[in-house]
Structure 1
Amino acid sequence: MKALVLSGGSGTRLRPFSHSMPKQLIPVANKPVLEHVLANIRDLGVTDVGVIVGDRAADVSRALGDGTRSGVRITYLRQESPLGLAHCVRLAREFLGDDDFVMYLGDNMLPAGIGQVAAEFTEHRPAAHVVVHKVADPSAFGVVELDSAGRVEHLVEKPRNPRSDLALIGVYFFTPAIHEAVAAIAPSSRGELEITDAVQWLVDQGAPVRATQYSGYWKDVGRVEDVLECNRVLLEGVESRVSGEVDDASVIKGPVVIEEGARVVRSLVEGPTIIGPRSVVEDSTVGPYTTLGAGCVVRGTRLDASIALDGAVITGVRRLSGSLVGREARVALGAQGPAEHRLVVGDHCRIEVTG
């Protein structure tokens, strides 16, 4: 089996961050979303991975390299414009050959993994096996309708009047039968080759198509709120590890990771929290549910339920909560005012807030 990971898309809901980095590289628990995806794929025993990239190809390849760090072999496949998920399958035809494969959208987080779905696909080996989840607003997703026996009967992309609350969540298992399907379909009204149309073509041809309702935690990290929520969920599994320096005037409470080269000085760090390598926490309270990337500085600040990306500096803020602070951004004390703030600060910004 091979894997096809989709890492294109503009990430409009994550602006300003997606202006300067692919949304798939936003860190959750201090690791880019794509690295979590590759870990789930590797856990299936799949090591041959094609990664579809777009305009941000250089950023993605710089972050993932050849896949060695993640225990896989990566082949990068360039999609010049976003022409749909089924177009990605067409584009990867030579790479995929006649192998079965898992297709995984690179902005989806499934911390519990997809091992059970993979086992079901291997046991039954239908032409396609989709993963679904009940959602409150199915009109924002590809929607699946099942027959009385639980078989896939109908699929439609972003319907105005959904007849089911089962949404496709970005993980698909395919046999080579999908290649005939994507060759047979035409672009939708959106101008894209929809994977839902390709799977529907298989259904219409009488090919077996199965679905698994995913019972674990799932999140499409398309919005800042989703990133922060997912960060909180993953931090629940953190185990304490102190590789950096903690002075005698500091207190560590709960599960906290302090990476090599990090320093905690006259501060309280409440877990679950991760302090990244070479970061400095001084005269501050950090956590719970907080991650600092590499080379961050937090001084004279109360910071909780937040993510600070590499190189962020936060100084003199009485309380910052539920915030996402970009790479190399600066948040500092301004005039006096309300005691708590919530910020979404893009890369390289400079912000002054009230104390």
Structure 2
Amino acid sequence: MKIIIPMAGRGSRLRPHTLTTPKPLIPIAGKPIVHRLVEDIAKVSSEKIEEIAFVIGDFGAEVEADLIAIAEKLGAKGTICHQLEPLGTAHSIWMAKEALDGPVVVAYADTLFRADFKLDMESDGVVWVKQVENPSAFGVVKLDENEVITDFVEKPQEFVSDLAIIGIYFFRDGQKLYKEIEHIIDNNITVGGEYQLTDALETMRAKGDQFTLGKVDEWMDCGNKAVTVDTNSRVLNLDKEDYSTVNPNAVVENSLIIPPCYIGDGVVIKNSKIGPNVSLGNGTKVECSNIDNSLIQENSIIANANLTDSMIGNNAKYYGVSRSISLGDYSELDFKSHEA
């Protein structure tokens, strides 16, 4: 089986964090979003993952190497494909068209999920969905009495279904999807100037392919700062046993750690209270601070702070007061110096 991960978007809603790090590489509980995503897919599939094709923008050689390493950790070949223009969901998949062969999973790298089922490899296709309270904000599916999809509806203004498409799909025959996307692009079939995957899905359905549901128990968004911090907390709590102890290479002096927390390699914590629901990336130093429900990345310095519901990037410095903040990579805020 092959996996295609379209992830060329700018991640503008998660700025300033995505100005220096592509959103799918933002760590959640110490592991990049895209790494967790492919692991989640592997857990529901009985098939060996042969290749993971990452569709990216101009992210640079270091990011490309990181993605190849993620694939290799799962025993798969990593392939880098480029989408340099935002021409739609179908177009992003088309950039990895060489991988559209045999069983294929397409997963957009801005969401995480948990599911308690095994992927039906005999189905023509599977569309992952989650029941939501406000379906007008999502693409949704309509079903028949056998829970086979009869229609794909984009952001319905009147209620037709509350089963939202979360952006993960399985195709038993990737060549069928290849032909439909090729037809869309060759004939310039667009919506709002973009080539849409739902047009290909609807054509495949009309030709007789039956799409069934992959229902998820947890659907966790990583679209902006608030929901990313919440997703970090949810992952920590879903895997409490994994986050109940402190990394043996961390230094903790005169401090209280309230699990679940992710404490990375080389973290130093002094005279502080950390947790619950906190991730501290490798090499981060915290002193004389209280932190809960927050996501702090690598090699940052936090001192004299009371932080909650906060997200701080890599190599950042924060000296300060009580607040919920979003501080990007290589940034510094020093409220004590302003008070002096």
Q: Following TM superposition, by how much is the alpha carbon of 1:147 offset from its aligned partner in structure 2, in angstroms?
A: 2.6
Moved more, 32-41 or 275-284: 32-41
Alpha-carbon offset, residue 284 of structure 1: 0.8
1:136 aligned onto 2:139: no
Task: Say which of 191, 208, 215 aligns to 2:193.
Answer: 191
- Between the aligned partners of 1:141 and 1:282, the Cα distance in structure 2 is 45
Aligned length: 327
Structure 1 residue 293 and structure 2 residue 281: aligned?
A: yes
> In structure 2, what is the Cα distance between the partners aligned to 1:111 and 1:150?
20
Alpha-carbon contact 1:104-1:171 (below 8 Å) kept: yes
Q: 1:151 to 1:112 in 2, by over 3 A?
A: closer
SS in 2 for 1:281: strand
Equivalent positions of 1:54-69 (< 5 A) are 54-66=57-69, 67-69=71-73
- What is the CA distance between 1:6 and its match in structure 2? 1.5
TM-score where L is the length of structure 1: 0.85
Q: Is the 8 A contact 1:35 1:70 kept in 2?
A: no
Checking the alignment, whether the CA contact within 8 Å between 1:264 and 1:281 is kept in structure 2 is yes
Q: 1:161 Cα shift?
A: 4.2
Q: Could you say which residue in structure 2 is the equivalent of 1:23?
A: 23
3-state DSSP class of the match of 2:52?
Answer: strand
Indicate whether 1:13 and 2:13 are aligned.
yes
* Residue in structure 2 matched with residue 101 of structure 1 by the alignment: 104
The CA distance in 1 between the partners of 2:274 and 2:99, in whole Å, is: 46
Match for residue 71 of structure 1 among 71, 75, 94: 75
Task: Give the 5 Å matches for 1:279-290.
Answer: 279-290=267-278
Provide, for residues 257-280 of structure 1, a one-character-per-residue CA deviation record: whole Å limited to 9, x for no partner: 3252x2111111111112111111
**Distance between the aligned counterparts of 2:308 and 2:245, measured in 1?**
18
Q: Residues of 2 paired with 1:331 and 1:18: CA distance?
A: 19
Q: Which amino acid aligns with 1:230?
A: T
Check the 8 A contact 2:221/2:231 in 1, yes or no: no
AA paired with 2:26?
I
Q: Is 2:35 aligned against 1:35?
A: yes
The 3 A distance-change label for structure 1 pair 62 and 134 is same
Q: Secondary structure at the match of 2:322?
A: coil
Q: 1:192, CA displacement in angstroms?
A: 1.5
What is the aligned partner in structure 1 of residue 227 from structure 2?
226
Of 339-348 and 13-22, the range deviating more from structure 2: 339-348
Aligned partner of residue 83 in structure 1, secondary structure:
coil
Note closer, same or farther for the CA distance 1:321–1:20 as it changes in structure 2 (3 Å cut): same
Does residue 153 in structure 1 map to residue 150 in structure 2? yes
Q: Is the 8 A contact 1:259 1:276 kept in 2?
A: no
CA distance in 2, matches of 1:112, 1:195: 23
2:113 to 93, 110, 134: 110
Q: Is residue 332 of structure 2 the alignment partner of residue 350 of structure 1?
A: yes
Are the aligned partners of 2:68 and 2:77 in contact in 1 as well (CA < 8 Å)?
Answer: no
**8 A Cα contact 1:156 1:197, kept in partner:** no
Is the 2:264–2:280 contact (alpha carbons within 8 Å) kept by the matching residues of 1?
A: yes
Deviates more, 1:205-214 or 1:47-56: 205-214
Identify which of 231, 252, 256 aligns with 2:245: 256
2:212 is the counterpart of 1:210: yes
Larger relative contact order (Cα-Cα within 8 Å, sequence gap ≥ 6):
2
CA positional deviation for 1:111: 3.6
Determine if contact 1:259/1:275 at 8 Å carries over to the other structure.
Answer: no
- Report the counterpart of residue 201 of structure 1 in structure 2: 203
**290-299 or 157-166, which deviates more:** 157-166
The code of the aligned residue for 1:231 comes to N
Write the distance in 1 (CA, Å) between the matches of 2:37 and 2:61.
19
| Identity rate, percent | 31
For 1:181, the equivalent position in structure 2 comes to 180
Structure 2 unpaired stretches of 5+: none
Residue 298 of structure 2 is matched in structure 1 by 310
Q: What is the SS of the residue equivalent to 1:82?
A: coil
CA–CA distance in structure 2, aligned partners of residues 3 and 161 of structure 1 = 34
- Once the two structures are superposed, residues 100-144 of structure 1 have per-residue CA deviations (whole angstroms, 9 ceiling, x without a partner) of 21111112211447x52x1x2x13x21x32111122332332221
Report the Cα offset of residue 80 of structure 1. Answer: 1.6
Preserved contact between residue 298 and residue 315 of structure 1 (Cα < 8 Å) = yes
Q: Deviations over 1:241-292 (max 9, x none)?
A: 8xxxxxxxxxxxxx233252x2111111111112111111011111111110
Tell me, in whole angstroms, the C-alpha distance in 1 between the residues paired with 2:221 and 2:197: 18
TM-score (norm 2): 0.89
1:72-91 superposed matches below 5 A: 72-91=76-95
> Given that residues 238 and 257 in structure 1 are in contact (C-alpha distance below 8 angstroms), is that contact kept between their aligned partners in structure 2?
no
Q: Which amino acid aligns with 2:86?
A: P
Deviations 1:84-114 (A, max 9, x none): 22113322222333x121111112211447x
Amino acid corresponding to residue 294 of structure 1 in structure 2: N
User: Partner amino acid for 1:322?
Assistant: D
Aligned partners of 2:68 and 2:79 also within 8 Å:
no
* Cα shift at 1:208: 2.0
My pick for the range that moved more, 228-237 or 87-96, is: 87-96
Root mean square deviation, CA, Å:
2.1
